[in-house]
Amino acid sequence: MAELVYDETGRLLFTKEMKEEYTLLMPQMLPIHFGMMARLLEREGFRVETLNTSGKSIVDAGQKYVHNDTCYPALLVIGQLIDAIQSGKYDVHKVGLLITQTGGGCRASNYIHLLRKALIKAGLEFVPVVSVNLSGLEKNPGFRLSIPFLRKAVFAMMYGDIIVQTANQVRPYEVTPGQTDHTIEDCMSRLLEGMDRGDGLSYKSMCRNFKWIVQAFKDIPVQGAPKVRVGVVGEIYIKYSPLGNNNLEEFLLSEGAEPVVPGLTDFIIFKIYNRDVDVDLYGGLWLKQKICRIFENYVKKCQKAMIAAIQAGGFRAPGTFDDLHRLIQGYLGDGNKMGEGWLLTAEMLELIHSGTPNIVCTQPFGCLPNHIVGKGMIRKLKDDYPNSNIVAIDYDPGATKINQENRIKLMLANARALSNESAPALQPDRVPMEV
Protein backbone atom coordinates (compact mmCIF):
# COMPACT_ATOMS: atom_id res chain seq x y z
CA MET A 1 0.00 0.00 0.00
CA ALA A 2 1.31 3.46 -0.94
CA GLU A 3 2.68 5.54 1.91
CA LEU A 4 0.58 8.60 2.83
CA VAL A 5 2.49 11.83 2.15
CA TYR A 6 1.42 15.30 3.26
CA ASP A 7 2.60 18.76 2.19
CA GLU A 8 3.65 21.53 4.56
CA THR A 9 0.03 22.60 5.07
CA GLY A 10 -1.05 19.10 6.06
CA ARG A 11 -2.79 18.33 2.76
CA LEU A 12 -2.72 14.66 1.74
CA LEU A 13 -0.92 14.36 -1.60
CA PHE A 14 -1.66 12.02 -4.49
CA THR A 15 1.74 10.45 -5.09
CA LYS A 16 3.37 8.68 -8.02
CA GLU A 17 2.99 5.40 -6.11
CA MET A 18 -0.74 6.03 -5.77
CA LYS A 19 -0.99 6.52 -9.53
CA GLU A 20 0.05 2.90 -9.96
CA GLU A 21 -2.31 1.45 -7.32
CA TYR A 22 -5.31 3.75 -6.86
CA THR A 23 -8.60 4.06 -8.75
CA LEU A 24 -9.71 7.66 -9.19
CA LEU A 25 -13.45 8.26 -8.96
CA MET A 26 -14.99 11.25 -10.73
CA PRO A 27 -18.58 12.51 -10.36
CA GLN A 28 -20.84 12.39 -13.40
CA MET A 29 -22.15 15.49 -15.14
CA LEU A 30 -22.03 14.98 -18.92
CA PRO A 31 -22.02 11.25 -19.77
CA ILE A 32 -20.57 11.63 -23.27
CA HIS A 33 -18.00 14.30 -22.48
CA PHE A 34 -16.88 12.74 -19.21
CA GLY A 35 -16.75 9.28 -20.76
CA MET A 36 -14.17 10.49 -23.26
CA MET A 37 -12.33 12.46 -20.59
CA ALA A 38 -11.99 9.33 -18.46
CA ARG A 39 -10.53 7.45 -21.42
CA LEU A 40 -8.00 10.21 -22.02
CA LEU A 41 -6.92 10.05 -18.38
CA GLU A 42 -6.51 6.29 -18.73
CA ARG A 43 -4.17 6.96 -21.67
CA GLU A 44 -2.11 9.05 -19.23
CA GLY A 45 -1.70 6.00 -17.01
CA PHE A 46 -4.47 6.61 -14.47
CA ARG A 47 -7.17 4.20 -13.36
CA VAL A 48 -10.38 6.22 -13.63
CA GLU A 49 -14.05 5.44 -13.10
CA THR A 50 -16.90 7.86 -13.77
CA LEU A 51 -19.75 7.41 -11.32
CA ASN A 52 -23.19 6.87 -12.86
CA THR A 53 -24.92 6.11 -9.57
CA SER A 54 -28.26 7.60 -8.54
CA GLY A 55 -30.80 7.24 -5.78
CA LYS A 56 -31.75 8.66 -2.41
CA SER A 57 -28.58 7.34 -0.74
CA ILE A 58 -26.56 10.01 -2.57
CA VAL A 59 -28.70 12.85 -1.24
CA ASP A 60 -28.66 11.25 2.21
CA ALA A 61 -24.85 11.08 2.19
CA GLY A 62 -24.65 14.68 1.06
CA GLN A 63 -27.00 15.88 3.79
CA LYS A 64 -25.13 13.84 6.40
CA TYR A 65 -21.62 15.03 5.59
CA VAL A 66 -22.15 18.50 4.04
CA HIS A 67 -23.57 21.52 5.84
CA ASN A 68 -27.19 21.83 4.75
CA ASP A 69 -26.81 25.53 3.89
CA THR A 70 -24.35 24.56 1.16
CA CYS A 71 -25.53 24.67 -2.44
CA TYR A 72 -27.37 21.65 -3.83
CA PRO A 73 -24.75 20.81 -6.51
CA ALA A 74 -22.08 20.55 -3.79
CA LEU A 75 -24.32 18.29 -1.75
CA LEU A 76 -24.90 15.98 -4.74
CA VAL A 77 -21.29 15.85 -5.97
CA ILE A 78 -19.86 15.18 -2.52
CA GLY A 79 -22.72 12.84 -1.66
CA GLN A 80 -22.12 10.78 -4.82
CA LEU A 81 -18.41 10.44 -4.09
CA ILE A 82 -18.81 9.43 -0.45
CA ASP A 83 -21.75 7.14 -1.25
CA ALA A 84 -19.51 5.35 -3.77
CA ILE A 85 -16.67 4.90 -1.26
CA GLN A 86 -19.08 3.55 1.37
CA SER A 87 -20.82 1.21 -1.10
CA GLY A 88 -18.31 -1.60 -0.48
CA LYS A 89 -17.42 -1.75 -4.17
CA TYR A 90 -13.94 -0.30 -3.68
CA ASP A 91 -10.94 -0.84 -1.43
CA VAL A 92 -11.16 2.40 0.55
CA HIS A 93 -7.38 2.41 0.97
CA LYS A 94 -6.81 2.31 -2.78
CA VAL A 95 -9.28 4.89 -4.03
CA GLY A 96 -8.89 8.60 -4.74
CA LEU A 97 -11.34 11.31 -5.74
CA LEU A 98 -11.16 13.71 -8.70
CA ILE A 99 -12.80 17.12 -8.53
CA THR A 100 -12.41 20.24 -10.68
CA GLN A 101 -11.26 23.70 -9.62
CA THR A 102 -11.53 26.56 -12.11
CA GLY A 103 -10.04 29.27 -9.92
CA GLY A 104 -13.24 31.28 -9.49
CA GLY A 105 -15.00 32.11 -6.25
CA CYS A 106 -17.82 29.60 -6.70
CA ARG A 107 -18.50 25.84 -6.63
CA ALA A 108 -15.77 24.82 -9.02
CA SER A 109 -13.09 26.04 -6.62
CA ASN A 110 -14.52 25.49 -3.15
CA TYR A 111 -16.07 22.02 -3.34
CA ILE A 112 -12.68 20.45 -2.73
CA HIS A 113 -12.45 21.91 0.77
CA LEU A 114 -16.01 20.85 1.59
CA LEU A 115 -15.18 17.36 0.29
CA ARG A 116 -12.12 17.03 2.53
CA LYS A 117 -14.14 18.13 5.56
CA ALA A 118 -16.81 15.57 4.66
CA LEU A 119 -14.20 12.80 4.36
CA ILE A 120 -12.87 13.61 7.83
CA LYS A 121 -16.40 13.56 9.22
CA ALA A 122 -16.97 10.17 7.57
CA GLY A 123 -13.71 8.75 8.93
CA LEU A 124 -12.17 8.64 5.44
CA GLU A 125 -9.47 11.28 5.85
CA PHE A 126 -6.92 8.89 4.32
CA VAL A 127 -8.64 9.13 0.90
CA PRO A 128 -6.71 11.57 -1.34
CA VAL A 129 -8.59 14.29 -3.20
CA VAL A 130 -7.08 15.39 -6.51
CA SER A 131 -7.73 18.85 -7.90
CA VAL A 132 -8.14 19.13 -11.68
CA ASN A 133 -7.29 22.76 -12.43
CA LEU A 134 -5.39 25.04 -14.78
CA SER A 135 -4.74 27.75 -12.19
CA GLY A 136 -2.00 26.13 -10.12
CA LEU A 137 -4.35 26.00 -7.12
CA GLU A 138 -3.17 22.60 -5.95
CA LYS A 139 -0.43 20.33 -7.24
CA ASN A 140 0.14 16.62 -6.72
CA PRO A 141 3.32 14.71 -7.64
CA GLY A 142 1.24 11.83 -9.02
CA PHE A 143 -1.21 13.92 -11.06
CA ARG A 144 0.05 16.32 -13.69
CA LEU A 145 -1.83 17.53 -16.77
CA SER A 146 0.46 17.74 -19.77
CA ILE A 147 -0.06 20.15 -22.67
CA PRO A 148 -0.79 17.21 -25.05
CA PHE A 149 -3.46 15.96 -22.61
CA LEU A 150 -5.09 19.40 -22.41
CA ARG A 151 -5.16 19.54 -26.20
CA LYS A 152 -6.87 16.15 -26.35
CA ALA A 153 -9.33 17.26 -23.65
CA VAL A 154 -10.38 20.23 -25.78
CA PHE A 155 -11.06 17.89 -28.72
CA ALA A 156 -13.01 15.53 -26.46
CA MET A 157 -15.24 18.39 -25.31
CA MET A 158 -15.83 19.42 -28.93
CA TYR A 159 -16.73 15.88 -29.95
CA GLY A 160 -19.10 15.62 -26.99
CA ASP A 161 -20.80 18.87 -27.97
CA ILE A 162 -21.35 18.01 -31.63
CA ILE A 163 -22.74 14.59 -30.67
CA VAL A 164 -25.17 16.11 -28.16
CA GLN A 165 -26.21 18.97 -30.47
CA THR A 166 -27.09 16.65 -33.36
CA ALA A 167 -28.48 13.79 -31.27
CA ASN A 168 -30.93 16.08 -29.45
CA GLN A 169 -32.40 17.16 -32.79
CA VAL A 170 -32.94 13.56 -33.91
CA ARG A 171 -34.01 11.64 -30.80
CA PRO A 172 -37.52 13.18 -30.50
CA TYR A 173 -38.31 12.16 -34.08
CA GLU A 174 -36.54 8.82 -34.53
CA VAL A 175 -38.58 6.11 -36.29
CA THR A 176 -36.87 3.33 -34.36
CA PRO A 177 -36.77 4.06 -30.61
CA GLY A 178 -33.24 3.86 -29.23
CA GLN A 179 -31.46 4.27 -32.56
CA THR A 180 -30.08 7.68 -31.59
CA ASP A 181 -28.59 6.28 -28.40
CA HIS A 182 -27.04 3.38 -30.31
CA THR A 183 -25.53 5.87 -32.76
CA ILE A 184 -24.07 7.85 -29.86
CA GLU A 185 -22.37 4.71 -28.54
CA ASP A 186 -21.04 3.88 -32.00
CA CYS A 187 -19.65 7.41 -32.44
CA MET A 188 -18.01 7.38 -29.02
CA SER A 189 -16.41 3.99 -29.64
CA ARG A 190 -15.07 5.07 -33.02
CA LEU A 191 -13.71 8.35 -31.61
CA LEU A 192 -12.08 6.69 -28.62
CA GLU A 193 -10.54 3.97 -30.75
CA GLY A 194 -9.17 6.71 -32.99
CA MET A 195 -7.73 8.56 -30.00
CA ASP A 196 -6.06 5.35 -28.86
CA ARG A 197 -4.26 5.33 -32.23
CA GLY A 198 -3.53 9.07 -32.00
CA ASP A 199 -6.15 9.97 -34.63
CA GLY A 200 -8.66 12.82 -34.39
CA LEU A 201 -6.29 15.01 -32.37
CA SER A 202 -5.43 17.63 -34.97
CA TYR A 203 -7.58 20.40 -36.39
CA LYS A 204 -7.86 18.77 -39.82
CA SER A 205 -8.72 15.32 -38.48
CA MET A 206 -11.21 16.91 -36.07
CA CYS A 207 -13.00 18.53 -39.01
CA ARG A 208 -13.14 15.16 -40.78
CA ASN A 209 -14.58 13.58 -37.64
CA PHE A 210 -17.18 16.33 -37.34
CA LYS A 211 -18.35 15.53 -40.85
CA TRP A 212 -18.94 11.81 -40.29
CA ILE A 213 -20.48 12.37 -36.85
CA VAL A 214 -23.08 14.71 -38.32
CA GLN A 215 -23.72 12.28 -41.18
CA ALA A 216 -24.22 9.42 -38.72
CA PHE A 217 -27.14 11.25 -37.09
CA LYS A 218 -28.44 12.56 -40.40
CA ASP A 219 -28.77 8.94 -41.56
CA ILE A 220 -31.21 8.11 -38.73
CA PRO A 221 -34.76 7.89 -40.15
CA VAL A 222 -37.09 10.47 -38.58
CA GLN A 223 -40.79 11.23 -38.75
CA GLY A 224 -43.46 13.53 -37.31
CA ALA A 225 -44.19 17.23 -37.12
CA PRO A 226 -41.80 19.59 -35.33
CA LYS A 227 -42.22 19.47 -31.56
CA VAL A 228 -42.16 22.33 -29.09
CA ARG A 229 -38.52 23.16 -28.43
CA VAL A 230 -37.51 23.77 -24.82
CA GLY A 231 -34.17 25.26 -23.90
CA VAL A 232 -32.41 24.21 -20.69
CA VAL A 233 -30.10 26.64 -18.90
CA GLY A 234 -28.89 27.17 -15.35
CA GLU A 235 -26.05 26.28 -13.00
CA ILE A 236 -23.72 24.05 -14.99
CA TYR A 237 -24.04 20.87 -12.90
CA ILE A 238 -27.82 20.99 -12.50
CA LYS A 239 -28.25 21.96 -16.16
CA TYR A 240 -26.39 18.91 -17.45
CA SER A 241 -26.49 16.22 -14.77
CA PRO A 242 -29.45 13.79 -14.87
CA LEU A 243 -28.81 13.20 -11.16
CA GLY A 244 -29.03 16.92 -10.46
CA ASN A 245 -32.09 17.78 -12.56
CA ASN A 246 -34.14 14.62 -12.01
CA ASN A 247 -33.66 13.44 -15.61
CA LEU A 248 -35.06 16.68 -17.03
CA GLU A 249 -34.25 15.93 -20.67
CA GLU A 250 -35.89 12.51 -20.42
CA PHE A 251 -38.99 14.12 -18.91
CA LEU A 252 -39.20 16.74 -21.68
CA LEU A 253 -39.01 13.97 -24.28
CA SER A 254 -41.78 12.06 -22.52
CA GLU A 255 -43.93 15.19 -22.70
CA GLY A 256 -43.50 15.45 -26.46
CA ALA A 257 -40.94 18.27 -26.41
CA GLU A 258 -37.52 18.64 -28.02
CA PRO A 259 -34.83 19.57 -25.47
CA VAL A 260 -32.32 22.19 -26.59
CA VAL A 261 -29.27 22.24 -24.32
CA PRO A 262 -26.40 24.69 -24.90
CA GLY A 263 -23.03 22.99 -25.26
CA LEU A 264 -20.03 22.99 -22.95
CA THR A 265 -17.72 24.73 -25.43
CA ASP A 266 -19.06 28.20 -24.65
CA PHE A 267 -18.42 27.63 -20.94
CA ILE A 268 -14.83 26.56 -21.67
CA ILE A 269 -14.22 29.69 -23.76
CA PHE A 270 -15.98 31.77 -21.09
CA LYS A 271 -13.53 30.56 -18.44
CA ILE A 272 -10.54 31.33 -20.67
CA TYR A 273 -11.98 34.71 -21.62
CA ASN A 274 -12.38 35.59 -17.94
CA ARG A 275 -8.63 35.20 -17.43
CA ASP A 276 -8.10 37.47 -20.43
CA VAL A 277 -10.53 40.19 -19.34
CA ASP A 278 -9.23 40.12 -15.76
CA VAL A 279 -6.06 41.82 -17.00
CA ASP A 280 -8.11 44.65 -18.55
CA LEU A 281 -10.40 45.03 -15.53
CA TYR A 282 -8.00 44.55 -12.65
CA GLY A 283 -4.50 44.60 -14.10
CA GLY A 284 -2.01 41.78 -14.51
CA LEU A 285 0.68 40.35 -16.71
CA TRP A 286 0.39 41.02 -20.44
CA LEU A 287 2.03 37.65 -21.08
CA LYS A 288 -0.78 35.85 -19.23
CA GLN A 289 -3.32 37.72 -21.35
CA LYS A 290 -1.51 36.86 -24.57
CA ILE A 291 -1.33 33.16 -23.70
CA CYS A 292 -5.02 33.15 -22.79
CA ARG A 293 -5.93 34.81 -26.09
CA ILE A 294 -3.94 32.25 -28.10
CA PHE A 295 -5.73 29.39 -26.33
CA GLU A 296 -9.08 31.19 -26.57
CA ASN A 297 -8.72 31.82 -30.31
CA TYR A 298 -7.79 28.20 -30.94
CA VAL A 299 -10.89 26.92 -29.13
CA LYS A 300 -13.01 29.49 -30.99
CA LYS A 301 -11.55 28.22 -34.27
CA CYS A 302 -12.56 24.68 -33.33
CA GLN A 303 -16.03 25.87 -32.32
CA LYS A 304 -16.55 27.58 -35.69
CA ALA A 305 -15.58 24.35 -37.47
CA MET A 306 -18.11 22.45 -35.36
CA ILE A 307 -20.85 24.96 -36.17
CA ALA A 308 -20.03 24.80 -39.89
CA ALA A 309 -20.28 20.99 -39.85
CA ILE A 310 -23.65 21.08 -38.06
CA GLN A 311 -25.01 23.61 -40.55
CA ALA A 312 -23.68 21.65 -43.52
CA GLY A 313 -25.59 18.61 -42.27
CA GLY A 314 -28.87 20.52 -42.23
CA PHE A 315 -29.14 20.76 -38.43
CA ARG A 316 -29.74 23.88 -36.35
CA ALA A 317 -26.40 25.14 -35.14
CA PRO A 318 -25.70 27.20 -32.04
CA GLY A 319 -24.09 30.61 -32.29
CA THR A 320 -20.45 31.30 -31.57
CA PHE A 321 -19.11 32.59 -28.26
CA ASP A 322 -18.68 35.99 -29.90
CA ASP A 323 -22.38 35.93 -30.86
CA LEU A 324 -23.28 35.31 -27.22
CA HIS A 325 -21.02 38.13 -26.11
CA ARG A 326 -22.73 40.53 -28.50
CA LEU A 327 -26.19 39.52 -27.29
CA ILE A 328 -25.38 40.27 -23.66
CA GLN A 329 -24.31 43.85 -24.33
CA GLY A 330 -26.59 46.23 -22.44
CA TYR A 331 -27.62 43.54 -19.95
CA LEU A 332 -24.54 42.42 -18.02
CA GLY A 333 -20.89 43.38 -18.14
CA ASP A 334 -17.75 41.24 -18.41
CA GLY A 335 -17.09 41.62 -14.70
CA ASN A 336 -20.23 39.59 -13.91
CA LYS A 337 -18.50 36.23 -14.13
CA MET A 338 -19.10 34.43 -10.84
CA GLY A 339 -20.38 30.92 -11.53
CA GLU A 340 -21.92 30.98 -15.01
CA GLY A 341 -21.99 34.79 -14.89
CA TRP A 342 -23.22 36.70 -17.90
CA LEU A 343 -23.02 33.53 -20.01
CA LEU A 344 -26.21 32.14 -18.47
CA THR A 345 -28.26 35.20 -19.45
CA ALA A 346 -26.60 35.20 -22.87
CA GLU A 347 -27.68 31.57 -23.39
CA MET A 348 -31.29 32.55 -22.69
CA LEU A 349 -30.98 35.42 -25.16
CA GLU A 350 -29.52 33.12 -27.81
CA LEU A 351 -32.34 30.61 -27.34
CA ILE A 352 -34.93 33.37 -27.72
CA HIS A 353 -33.26 34.78 -30.82
CA SER A 354 -32.87 31.35 -32.43
CA GLY A 355 -36.55 30.39 -32.12
CA THR A 356 -36.56 28.60 -28.77
CA PRO A 357 -38.40 31.05 -26.48
CA ASN A 358 -39.52 28.28 -24.11
CA ILE A 359 -36.84 27.89 -21.46
CA VAL A 360 -36.37 25.98 -18.20
CA CYS A 361 -33.91 27.77 -15.93
CA THR A 362 -32.62 25.22 -13.43
CA GLN A 363 -32.16 26.91 -10.04
CA PRO A 364 -30.26 24.90 -7.41
CA PHE A 365 -30.62 25.80 -3.76
CA GLY A 366 -27.85 28.02 -2.45
CA CYS A 367 -26.47 29.15 -5.83
CA LEU A 368 -26.57 32.92 -5.37
CA PRO A 369 -24.86 33.83 -8.71
CA ASN A 370 -27.33 31.67 -10.62
CA HIS A 371 -30.29 33.34 -8.94
CA ILE A 372 -28.98 36.73 -10.03
CA VAL A 373 -28.07 35.97 -13.67
CA GLY A 374 -30.81 33.31 -14.03
CA LYS A 375 -34.01 33.92 -12.11
CA GLY A 376 -33.05 37.55 -11.52
CA MET A 377 -32.94 38.30 -15.25
CA ILE A 378 -36.18 36.56 -16.28
CA ARG A 379 -38.43 39.58 -15.71
CA LYS A 380 -36.08 41.78 -17.73
CA LEU A 381 -36.04 39.30 -20.61
CA LYS A 382 -39.83 38.91 -20.54
CA ASP A 383 -40.21 42.68 -20.65
CA ASP A 384 -37.93 42.93 -23.68
CA TYR A 385 -39.25 39.76 -25.35
CA PRO A 386 -42.97 39.40 -24.48
CA ASN A 387 -43.28 36.08 -26.30
CA SER A 388 -40.54 34.44 -24.22
CA ASN A 389 -41.81 31.65 -21.97
CA ILE A 390 -39.30 31.12 -19.18
CA VAL A 391 -39.81 29.16 -15.97
CA ALA A 392 -37.34 28.85 -13.09
CA ILE A 393 -37.40 25.41 -11.47
CA ASP A 394 -35.93 24.97 -7.99
CA TYR A 395 -33.77 21.92 -7.26
CA ASP A 396 -32.94 21.08 -3.65
CA PRO A 397 -33.20 18.11 -1.25
CA GLY A 398 -36.72 19.08 -0.23
CA ALA A 399 -38.14 19.82 -3.69
CA THR A 400 -40.53 17.15 -4.93
CA LYS A 401 -40.11 15.83 -8.43
CA ILE A 402 -43.85 15.99 -9.07
CA ASN A 403 -43.96 19.70 -8.22
CA GLN A 404 -41.04 20.37 -10.58
CA GLU A 405 -42.70 18.41 -13.38
CA ASN A 406 -46.08 20.10 -12.87
CA ARG A 407 -44.50 23.52 -13.26
CA ILE A 408 -42.74 22.38 -16.44
CA LYS A 409 -46.04 20.97 -17.76
CA LEU A 410 -47.65 24.38 -17.22
CA MET A 411 -44.82 26.02 -19.16
CA LEU A 412 -45.32 23.49 -21.97
CA ALA A 413 -49.07 24.21 -22.04
CA ASN A 414 -48.29 27.90 -22.41
CA ALA A 415 -45.77 27.09 -25.14
CA ARG A 416 -48.32 25.12 -27.14
CA ALA A 417 -50.89 27.87 -26.72
CA LEU A 418 -48.42 30.47 -27.96
CA SER A 419 -47.39 28.29 -30.91
CA ASN A 420 -51.02 28.21 -32.07
CA GLU A 421 -51.15 31.99 -32.18
CA SER A 422 -49.76 34.04 -35.02
CA ALA A 423 -47.20 35.64 -32.76
CA PRO A 424 -44.92 38.33 -34.23
CA ALA A 425 -41.23 37.74 -34.56
CA LEU A 426 -39.34 37.94 -31.29
CA GLN A 427 -37.83 41.39 -31.17
CA PRO A 428 -37.07 43.54 -28.13
CA ASP A 429 -39.68 46.20 -27.40
CA ARG A 430 -36.95 48.63 -26.48
CA VAL A 431 -33.22 48.91 -26.21
CA PRO A 432 -32.11 46.94 -23.12
CA MET A 433 -30.76 49.04 -20.27
CA GLU A 434 -27.57 48.32 -18.40
CA VAL A 435 -28.11 46.00 -15.42
Q: Can you give the pLDDT at residue 329?
A: 96
What three-state secondary structure class fits 178?
coil
Domain boundaries, the chain: 16-143, 226-263+318-435
Fold of 226-263+318-435: Rossmann fold (3.40.50)
Q: Can you give the pLDDT at residue 418?
A: 80
Residues (pLDDT < 70) of the chain are 1, 102-104, 107-108, 134-136, 420-435
- Cβ(59)–Cβ(73) under 8 Å? no
Q: Can you give the pLDDT at residue 429?
A: 41
Q: Can you give the pLDDT at residue 103?
A: 67
Instruction: Spell 46-76 as b/e; 16+ CB within 10 A means b.
Output: bbbbbbebbeebbbebbeebbeeebbbbbbb
Q: Can you give the pLDDT at residue 432?
A: 39
Q: Which helix (H) or strand (E) holds 410?
A: helix 401-419
Which one-letter amino acid corresponds to residue 165? Answer: Q
- Cβ(103)–Cβ(69) under 8 Å? no
Do domains 16-143 and 226-263+318-435 share one topology? The answer is yes
What predicted TM-score, i.e. pTM, was given to this entire model?
Answer: 0.90
Smallest CA-to-CA distance from 251 within 85, 430, 433, 411 is with 411
- CATH class belonging to 16-143: alpha beta
| CA pair distance 318, 248, nearest whole angstrom | 21
Q: Can you give the pLDDT at residue 420?
A: 65
Q: Can you give the pLDDT at residue 153?
A: 83
Q: Can you give the pLDDT at residue 394?
A: 95
Q: Can you give the pLDDT at residue 426?
A: 41
How much is the mean pLDDT over the chain? 90
Smallest CA-to-CA distance from 269 within 304, 238, 243, 235 is with 304
| CA pair distance 69, 187, nearest whole angstrom | 41
